[in-house]
Amino acid sequence: MEFYLRGDLAKRSGLHVETLRYYEKSGLLPVPPRTDAGYRIYPKTTLLLLEFIKNAKECGFTIQEIRKALVRSESNPVQLEEFIQVIELKLKALDNEISLKEIKKNNLVQLKFHLLEELKNPEIGQVISILHMDQDS
């Protein structure tokens, strides 16, 4: 079986050594065995696990969600139907985030428009102020 030292694993996975430490502390990576000299040695299968973690993070899954999935998959395989349901929930949450970002974007566009109009026509500020005061009445 092929093993990697932490630095080698970091290079091969494209992750920083500190990220590997964090993943170990977070329970995403199993604690690796050590050499007689005390160096951690990771089996080649760790590269596959790291690829899974990176892909899951890129899809928007949190460290907690990834850990939960990994722990759960140790005792029984994840059913595709369940995984699809989890993905559907992620998609809904993402759609909600996008909607909120669009609202913020539209608010900024409107603010910019009003400010540019005020720069072009300084008197428009008074008109806008009057109009807003009339709306409050």
Q: What is the pLDDT of residues 62-103, one digit of tens each?
A: 999 999 888 888 888 878 898 899 999 999 999 999 999 999
Render pLDDT for 26-51 as a digit per residue (tens, 0 to 9): 989 999 999 999 999 999 999 999 99
The predicted model scores a pTM of 0.71
Question: Which secondary-structure segment (H or E) carries 4?
Answer: strand 3-5
96 and 110 share one domain = yes
89 and 57 share one domain = no
Contact (Cβ atoms closer than 8 angstroms) between residue 12 and residue 47:
yes
7 and 74 share one domain = yes
Question: Which secondary-structure segment (H or E) carries 11?
Answer: helix 6-13
CA atoms within 13 A of residue 100's CA, in its CB half-sphere: 6
Q: How many domains does the chain contain in total? A: 2
15 and 68 share one domain = yes
Per the structure, the complete domain to which residue 98 belongs is given by 82-136
What pLDDT sits at residue 134? 47
